[in-house]
Structure 1
Amino acid sequence: MGADRIRVEVVAAWPQRQWMVELDLPAGSTVADAVERSGLVERIPGLEPRDDHLGVFGRLCRPDRELADGDRVEIYRPLKLDPKTIRRINAERQRRGE
């Protein structure tokens, strides 16, 4: 890829299905640029790429983060329950012997 272009992937995953779009973008493009160009928000009902639902290679990042050639932008789905709540529920079940 030339110095003026980068190739990135934008991915989103639901329990039943995954989506991946490969993009060729101008150098200096951001996470927000990649998400917009991917078209995934329009294709996936309920997908909300909020600031706390974006990452690159498994690490949360801001939408204005500049991308490098080969990066994988990830759009995370919202959690149904807070992980702390899930742990508390599981601990209570274990105490009761369920």
Structure 2
Amino acid sequence: MGLAEPRPGRIRVELVWSPAAGDVRHSWLDLPEGCTVEQGLNACAEFADQLPRLAELAVGVWGRVQPLSHGLRDQDRIEVYRPLTVDPKEARRQRYHARGQRIVSRHRPLGGKTSR
């Protein structure tokens, strides 16, 4: 359904949000050209229960935080971010203490600095 072509004068936008941990929802919206992020959020009936909390949520387009007045383009992805419940560093410390061993990141080589 997300690949359908928009009608003339309309844009197709994806809205993704997570009302609770582990619950990710998304919806495709058919909006008029020149629509803002705020208008897109208000146009989604499935997102209506989240609108009262909008002041405490961050909103972004393709991973970049944007104001509600940001203009949308065809095939944009609106993302609504909940506030963090635990500091990421503290969560890592808690996992370390629970496992009793170092948690290896997949982003760094295990041997430390590479030699040339």
Matching residue's letter, 1:20: H
CA RMSD, 1 decimal: 2.9
Other-structure match for 1:71: 76
Matching residue's letter, 2:27: V
Deviation of 1:18 (Å): 1.2
Q: Is the 8 A contact 1:31 1:64 kept in 2?
A: yes
- TM-score normalised to the size of structure 2? 0.63
Gaps of 5+ in 1: none
Q: Which residue of 17, 25, 34 corresponds with 1:19? A: 25
3-state secondary structure, aligned to 2:43: helix
Aligned residues: 91
Deviations 1:10-30 (A, max 9, x none): 110232211111110000000
**Runs of at least 4 residues off by over 4 Å:** none
Other-structure match for 1:34: 40
Deviation of 1:59 (Å): 0.7
Give aligned-pair identity as a percent. Answer: 33
Deviations 1:25-75 (A, max 9, x none): 000000001111113132x5x972237610011110000000000001011
- TM-score normalised to the size of structure 1? 0.72
Gaps of 5+ in 2: 1-5, 102-116
3-state secondary structure, aligned to 1:7: strand
Q: Is the 8 A contact 1:23 1:34 kept in 2?
A: yes
Structure having greater relative contact order (Cα 8 Å, sep ≥ 6): 1
Larger Rg: 2
Matching residue's letter, 1:6: I
